Structure formats: C-alpha cells, structure tokens
Structure 1
Amino acid sequence: MKFIQMMDQPVAPGGLVEWSPSTVGGFAHWENDTRSTSHNHEVHLRAALEHRWRTGREGGRESWLGLAIEFDEPMSVPAIRAALTRWIDRHEVLRSHVVVKHAGLQRLTTPPGSVRLKMGRVGWYAESGPLLDQLAGSFDRATAPLQWPAYLFATVARERSFTLLFAGDHSLLDGYSLILAQHELTELYHAARERREPELPPVGSYVDFSAQERSSADSVDVDHPAVRAWADYLDANEHRMPRFDLADPVVPDGDDADGDTPDGEPGPPQSSVTLELLDDDHANRFTAVCVAAGGSLFAGIVAALAVAYRECGGGDVFRCITPRHTRTQGRWLGALGWFVSVTPVAVDSTGTGSFAALVQRATRALRTTRVAADVPLLRVTELLGYGGAPSFVVSFIDTRHAPDAAAADAGGARVLRSHNYSPDEVYIWVNRTPSGVRISARFPATGPMHAEVSAFLVRFSEIVRAVGDQSTFGPTVPWTGTTP
C-alpha cells in the first residue's frame, strides 16, 4: 500500500460529497469522561494551542493522516452512510474529544449511536487537479485537533466506481490504524449493501488505552530503564535529539522554528518523495543478506542508511529516531488510535569490514534501545528536564499480513498524509508490502538541506539495490568502501 502525500496522486474526477459528523445539541449532551489523555495527545494539543496563540491561526499545522479506498462498483448512498456511522460507533476515539483548560485537560465522550453524518454535495469535477485542491483544503480545515470532529469523510462517485476518502488528525490515529481501516470500511460497506452483519472482530478503545498508558507512565521515575536509555543516548549526543546534520539548514531571516513567516502565514510546504525501492524478488534478496548476518530487513535498512549518511558527509555515527508500536495487548491490535512511542537509534560504522557487520551493529542498536519505547517521550522529557522534539525520524512497517494487503498494494487503497511546513524536519517511511519495499519521505523544500537529503536518498537507494543484486542468499557481502 502506498503511503503518499495527498497532493502527489490524483483522484479520478466525479461527484464530490463531504460527510461531516455531528451530534444533536453539540457538546450539551456529551458526558464528562474521567479517563486520562495520552501523553502523545496532550503534547499534540498543547502544540496546536501554542500555535493558535502565536499566529492567530486555527489548526494543527496540517498534521493529519488519511485513507483513500477505490471501489469498482456504483456507490450506494445508504450503504456508505451506514458503513461510516457504524465505523464511528466501533471506534470510541472518534466519539471522544479533549478540551484544554487552565486546570488541565477535560475529556468529553458521546455514546454509540449518537453521531450523525451530514451529507454535503460539493459538486461535479471534470478534472482531477481542482478536485484534489478541494479535498486537500477541506481536510486541512476539518482536522484541527482543538475541535470536534477533527476528521472528515468524502466520496467521489462516478457511474461505475467511487473513491472513499477519510482524513483525521494524528491525535486520533496512526498509520497502522489506517492500514487496517481499509479492510474495515470495505467490509462495513459491503455488509450494509448486502444487508448482513459485518465479519469483523471486536476491538478495544484507544480511550481506555490512553488512560492505562498515562497511569503507568506517570508512576515511573528517572531510574526506569526507558528513561535511563534516553538519558544515555542524549548524553552521548550533546544532550540533543538527532538531526539530519550534513550541514546546518538555512532558514530565511524572520522565519521561526515552525516554518511560519512574521505575519503568521506558513512558509513553503516540504518536498515529498514516494517510490518503489525494491520489487518483491529484490526485497527478498536484500532481506536474505540481512538475515544471514543475524539481522532483519529493518536492521538492513538502518545499516544502509548509515552507509549513505557517512558517504554523504554525515560522519561515522548515524543517529535517528524510530517509531515503535505500543499495541502490546490483543484488544489494541485492531483499534483506531495513536499507538506509537519512539526510540533513539545510533549506529557507528567505524571499522566495519562488511555490510553484514554493519547489519549486526544496527541489530544491536535497535535491540538496545527498544526499552526506550516503554515510556512516552513527553514523560521522559518531563523527568529529564529536556524540551527537545524529534526532527529526524525513520519509520519501518511490514504490511504484508494486514487484511486485503495485496489488493490494497495493487492500487485498491493508499494511506495519505498532509503536507508539512517544517524548515528542518526529515521523515523517512520504509514500508515492506506484498509487492516489495516502498519508501516515502518529506524534507525541506528550500536551502542546502533540500539538495543534501535528495542526494542522501539517492545514495541510500543505490546501496540497498546493490546489496540485493549481490545477494547469494547466504555468504557475507564483501565491503568495498563506498559501495556494499
């Protein structure tokens, strides 16, 4: 399945309808909910509130994730309404809202069956460009985390097919949620159309998880292994988060760290790249080298990144932050929510005589800091008195075992992400899919960092392909200096 910036792939023209959730009487009939907010959600809300105070602009700086599903059949309006309503009832996070108050955070929740969908006909589009502009603008406006709903549905209907789209603020969901949502929404729609019960397993509530995670995290102290792992990492990196540090990025005079210009308007959106790095055969060949070295595909990807980083002038030690899922119990596996923690990674390529040796170092690095994901980063920074945030992130996920993964990967669905305005963030997503390995990245659109990240991604791609080409499914790949 592609993970792609919203504007990077067109939606076929057709009749656009937006489906907006609402409840009778607004928040008047919602219940006060004593369950705590997750640390991820809290830091996200406070950042959005600070942005509003500083710029006078509503919104979460376009921090939404989304989904597009293609249906090769005419659209049934009653079935779409029933499917989306039942999905909202199925996932409590879509019926819950957190308000930031002077005394703290207050959660409000409304029960299943109370959310209705308003059908708003936008119009017929004969071209993909204006349609995509309309969709992206609507999603940007509808997903501000300080409001409810912070999500929106849309359909684009044609005579014999239609596209279902969804966007939600990151505080409500993560990428894995959307990979599973493709199967859920498809099954809910077909069940509604066929007037049968959907064949879906029960799921837990992210609201319950948030309270559980918060209680556990608030009970730890500086001696917790996760906190110590972060402290050791920060001590070794001059007490700062890793950056993409081939050179210091140039930020135009007057711009702030959030990418806003002095009048509060955003700077240029980041550049976006999405491509298929390896087909399935080459992905298997590359993985075989990594496994023979005692590692995994992810360890091999990190090793290749470390080589590319060194060759591009970043030095012998490659440092980044990597997300780790927190779906540690069966009831969370299919739940919609932000089940993500982060861990630091550092790989020293000094003195490595083979790619296999570097894979082994990457494997140890990933294992050593895995414990750091056991405590949310906000709680870690509270305990350590550190206020930094990740700016160089490498994510890896294997989607091959998700329901309907092959159909989605063949073009049946794609995960969407909003544009971003950061002047210095570098995010790289690596996805193992049924068809191979896909990568997606966002990075500054201007200044030296743009060219540096572009060259780094090209070199990384060359290294991964070269390792796969030399694979004999067993022997160590010889190290030749600048190429594996």
Structure 2
Amino acid sequence: MPDHETYLLPASFGQERLWLHERSGLREAIYNVAGGLRFRGSLDVDLLQRCLNAIVDRHEVLRTVFHLSDGEVVQMVGPSAEVRVRLVDASGDLDAVLRELSAEAFDLAEGPLFRCHLLDLGTGEHILYVVLHHIVSDGRSRDVLLGELSELYAAGEAGREPKLPELEVQYGDFAAWQRQVLESDALDDQLAHWRGRMSEAPDLVLPQDHIRPPRPSYAVGSAEVAVPAQVVEELHRAAGGLTPFMIAVAGYAALLSRWSGQSSVVVAMPVSGREEPELLGLVGFFVNTVPVRIDLDGDPSLAEILRHTRERCLEAFAHASVPFERLIDEVRPQRGGGRLPLARAWAVLQETMDLPPLFDRKVTPVLPPGEGYSPFDVLLELWSEGGSLTGRLSCAADAFTRGTTQDVARTFEAILGSPATTTLAELPFLVRQSDPVTESGAVRAPVGEPDSAVEHLLAQLWADVLEVDSVSVEDEFYASGGNSLRAIQVMTRARDHGVEIPVDLVLGEHTIRDLARRDTAREPGADQDPPAVPEPGTEAR
C-alpha cells in the first residue's frame, strides 16, 4: 500500500451539515448508506481483503475522519484505514441481520466510516454487504465501490491487472472547488433565483396525531404505494412532457396541500451533484438537495398541477449548483422542531442498483429492509420499472399514527388515479383524523436583559460572532443573521468557557434564553464556578 501522509482539507457544505446533525444526537442509522449483492458460491476472503485495502487506498474519502479546527469542520485524511471484511452468519433471520448491520453507529472522529460484510446464508449463497456513512458516500458511491470490488477481485483471481481508470481528482478537490465557486460570483444568478423563489416559502404544517416529544426519535412508519403504468401513461398524455417522477411529485404536492390546507407547498428532492465527468467514478458525498415550491392557488385541475410541477422541477434542476446549505443561509426560511428547513416533505426516485457482474457470478441486489429512521416528516421513495411506480411512503412516528400513514399512502394513489380534469378540491382525501393536535411551542419568558451568568456569556458570544453591538435574550440565532458556520463558532467558544450548547441550535429556532436553560455543563446550584463572562467591550474568545 502506498505511503500517504495525514493532512487536513475543508469539509464540503453537505459534510458540515451532517457533522452538525450527528452532534445533535440523531439516531445512528439515519445517515447510513447500505446495500449489497447476493450470489451463489463462495469467495476467497484473503483476496477480498486485499481488494478492499486497494479501494481504501484508492479513495481518500474512505480514509477520512472529521474534526473541528479553528471553529471549522475539517476532513482529516489519514495514511490508512483499517477496514476488515467481517464474516457474518446470516443463516437465521436475514432481515434482522441486515437491519442490525445497517444501523450500527459510526464515530466520525475515529473512523473508519466504511464497513464490508460477507454474509453466509447457510444455503450455498452469500451476500457482500457494504455500509458507509453518508458523510463520505451516497447511493452512486455504493455502486462505484461494489463495481470496483468486483473488478479487483476478478483481476486478482485471473492474475491480471485490474481495469480501473485513474482517478484525476479526489473528494477533497471537490470540497475545495465547491467553496471557491461560492466565494466567486459564479453562482450569483442562481442565488438570486432562490431568494426570489423561496421568499416567504411556507413551512409545511400538518395536523398531527401526537404532540412531538422534546427530543425527536426520527423513527418512521411506512406504507407501500404503487402507481400502475397505465395511470402514469394517462397522466403523461393529459399533461405532456413529464417524467414518471414528476407525475409522482405532482400527486405528492396535491396530497400535501389537501392534508395541510396550504395552497403552496415545498417538496425537497435530491440531485446527483456530479455534473463534472471526473466526479462520476468517485466515492463521496456529492448528492445535493433542491427544494421545489409548488403553488396550487385557485383550485387547479390535476392536469394544471402536473404542468406547473414540471415547470417548477425543471426550474429547480437548472439552479441546482447551489449547495442546499448555502441556499438555506441565503433564504433564511422558518425553522423548528429539529427538522431541516424547506425539507419537511421529501421525494426521491431511487436508482436501480447498477449491478456489476460480481466475480463472474449472477447477482441480485440487496437493500436495507423496510422501516427505519428519517429526518423528514413525510418521505416518498419510489422505484420506476416498466412504466409503473412502486415504493413506500413514510411518516414521522413521533407525530403520526400507523393508521394515518396508511391513509396518506392510499390518498396518494387515489389522487393519481383521478381523472386529469379533477380539481384540487375534488381530489380524494382519505385521511381519517380525529382531534388533531398542533405542534407545541416553547413558552417564551418576558423579553429582558440577561439574568444569569450563562445568559450574559451567550449574549456576548452571540454578539461577537454576529458582529453586532448587542443582542436580546429573546433574539433567534438565524433570524439575527446566523448560519451553520457561525453556530459552530458559538458552540466552540462557549465550550471554552465551560458551557455546552445543544447542537440543535443549528437546527431550530432557539433564543439565548432557551439555550441557557438547556446548558448541560453548569446547572444552577451545582458545586461549580459560574462561567467566566468577558468584560464589557472585550471579545469573548
């Protein structure tokens, strides 16, 4: 293995966001990317291990961990990473084994952030199953990795050189390039577009079955959905020029509008983020999020909703070079509840796994089973095959019952099964909900000056980082000009003074008074000295 050095690189905007989310205590599996290949026969484990070592050496992101340096999240690329092939007995409950492997936590500071398992099904069949943290991967990365493993193994077995292209760049080059582009004026037009399109974009507020707990579990309940090819074709003819996924998004938007009672909804969706050809063969977190705002004023027909959705999707895709995190900083949407702004409702067309001829053996894809965890209130996952759409619709279990989730899924199918002339008000709505509750909001204390040492410290830190003269204890961080990077700076400086700020400062609408109450490092009355408060006129460092 070549001798590499340890070096620091800037994190991409997406990596920075995931690091912050991990620090907020999200469920371990929420950002794991998993999948594998099932085949008949056995493998030479020693050869497989050598192939794995070659891939870790080839992609620096697989040797990467994450730390804070001078208040910024950085990638630390190491000379090596110990990724061993794990042999797993899966002769019993396969789903339980896959669920356990997919949910195992990663340590972003220690690594490695990639695992490889060889499952023995006890029937002469095996599964090669990989799990990566999303901070170093995405769906295409999983397929790249499995494809390279297959080629390296086949080459090793045949005693030939592997046919893998040289990598012109690494993920760290992409992260640096991303930041350089944003420091220039290259994306000014796209940023201006998002400021206009998402100005006063409404937060999706759905009638809930439960009041959410103070700390979200991110568990979801799921129901299967299916849209027959005939239905997709009929709607395509009625509106024209739509992909099957756009048709699904239109039905999804109509569902969300009927459910929430809002005439404007935002549906977030992923784009590959690999516009440059040299990025196609890399492992890394490239996928970007684009919010699509769909307006349904005036009781439009389903056909009109379809056409409007197509226009808004194409418009969003044309401005998809702006990292979602930078878009949020620019637009400053409403935040709350520990969930991503502009992404309460998510829709994704999952790509069919690109199956390499694994070691010259016939393979079938293996994906993580069923329900799990999601940071979204509502998630629509679809696969397209033969013109039809199949998948699942998931809702946050903290807020919605399994019965509501089933009703929402049936409503989605019924909406798309309606004649294209049906108006929004006439579209079927099958969600049976009695006595819905609203989200609980924190009761604010009266506005006033800081009344504790922690509040004084946070007010000084807040003002220093935001470069303002003073702040109120009732000011909210993002409404006052904060962003993710500045939040990290506040957290770091507060920790230096012995105050631990919850990371959900960067996820929700929290005031200085909220955060002072939630300080876990120094409780009032504890046998500790109060935090040191800087003298007026000096910076809190």
TM-score by length of 2: 0.66
- Which of residues 349, 355, 360 in structure 1 aligns to 2:296? 349
Give yes or no for the alignment of 1:118 onto 2:84: yes
Question: Quick one: structure 1 residues 399 and 118, their matched pair in 2 at CA, closer, same or farther if it must change by over 3 Å?
Answer: closer
Partner of 1:224: 188
User: Secondary structure of the residue that 1:373 maps to in structure 2?
Assistant: coil
Partner of 1:56: none
Deviations 1:436-480 (A, max 9, x none): 42323432225446544432222112333x26xx8xxxxxx4437
Give yes or no for the alignment of 1:46 onto 2:24: no
Partner of 1:210: 175
Partners of 1:435 and 1:295 in 2: CA distance: 12
User: Secondary structure of the residue that 1:153 maps to in structure 2?
Assistant: strand
Question: Quick one: structure 1 residues 33 and 161, their matched pair in 2 at CA, closer, same or farther if it must change by over 3 Å?
Answer: same
Runs of 4+ in 1 over 6 A off after TM superposition: none
Partner of 2:237: 289
User: Secondary structure of the residue that 2:111 maps to in structure 1?
Assistant: coil
Partners of 1:437 and 1:140 in 2: CA distance: 27
Q: Give, in angstroms, the shift of residue 341 of structure 1.
A: 1.9
Contact 2:267–2:347 (8 Å) recurs in 1: no
Give yes or no for the alignment of 1:363 onto 2:305: no
User: Secondary structure of the residue that 2:116 maps to in structure 1?
Assistant: strand
User: Secondary structure of the residue that 1:412 maps to in structure 2?
Assistant: strand
Q: Give, in angstroms, the shift of residue 159 of structure 1.
A: 5.2
Between the two proteins, the alignment pairs up a number of residues equal to 415
Q: Give, in angstroms, the shift of residue 331 of structure 1.
A: 0.8
Give yes or no for the alignment of 1:271 onto 2:260: no
AA at the equivalent of 2:427:
T
User: Secondary structure of the residue that 2:237 maps to in structure 1?
Assistant: helix
Q: Give, in angstroms, the shift of residue 320 of structure 1.
A: 1.8
User: Secondary structure of the residue that 2:35 maps to in structure 1?
Assistant: strand
Q: Give, in angstroms, the shift of residue 283 of structure 1.
A: 7.6
Partner of 1:430: 382
Give yes or no for the alignment of 1:171 onto 2:171: no
- Which of residues 238, 243, 250 in structure 2 aligns to 1:303? 250
Partners of 2:322 and 2:231 in 1: CA distance: 33
Which shows bigger deviation, 64-73 or 380-389?
380-389
Deviations 1:246-291 (A, max 9, x none): 3146335xx32x41xxxxxxx473223455x246x5486257437x
Give yes or no for the alignment of 1:189 onto 2:189: no
Partners of 1:421 and 1:34 in 2: CA distance: 31
Contact 2:29–2:104 (8 Å) recurs in 1: no
Give yes or no for the alignment of 1:146 onto 2:109: yes
- Which of residues 40, 47, 62 in structure 2 aligns to 1:79? 47
- Which of residues 419, 439, 454 in structure 1 aligns to 2:372? 419
User: Secondary structure of the residue that 1:374 maps to in structure 2?
Assistant: coil
Larger Rg: 2
- Which of residues 223, 242, 246 in structure 1 aligns to 2:206? 246
Contact 1:394–1:430 (8 Å) recurs in 2: no
Contact 2:11–2:175 (8 Å) recurs in 1: yes
Which shows bigger deviation, 313-322 or 149-158?
313-322
1:335-484 equivalences under 5 Å are 335-351=282-298, 354-384=301-331, 388=335, 389-390=340-341, 391-397=343-349, 399=351, 402=354, 412-416=364-368, 419-420=372-373, 425-433=377-385, 436-448=388-400, 450-464=402-416, 466=417, 477-479=420-422, 481-482=426-427
Partners of 1:268 and 1:384 in 2: CA distance: 25
Partner of 2:11: 37
Structure 1, unaligned runs of 5 or more = 1-22, 53-58, 260-266, 471-476
AA at the equivalent of 1:172:
V
1:57-96 equivalences under 5 Å are 60=28, 62-96=30-64
Contact 1:65–1:170 (8 Å) recurs in 2: yes
Q: Give, in angstroms, the shift of residue 431 of structure 1.
A: 2.8
Q: Give, in angstroms, the shift of residue 313 of structure 1.
A: 5.1
AA at the equivalent of 1:462:
A
Deviations 1:365-420 (A, max 9, x none): 11333354322122233345568424424333363694559xxxx98113438832
Structure number with greater CO (CA < 8 Å, separation at least 6) is 1
AA at the equivalent of 1:251:
I
Contact 2:39–2:363 (8 Å) recurs in 1: no
Structure with more strand by fraction:
1
Question: Quick one: structure 1 residues 310 and 139, their matched pair in 2 at CA, closer, same or farther if it must change by over 3 Å?
Answer: closer
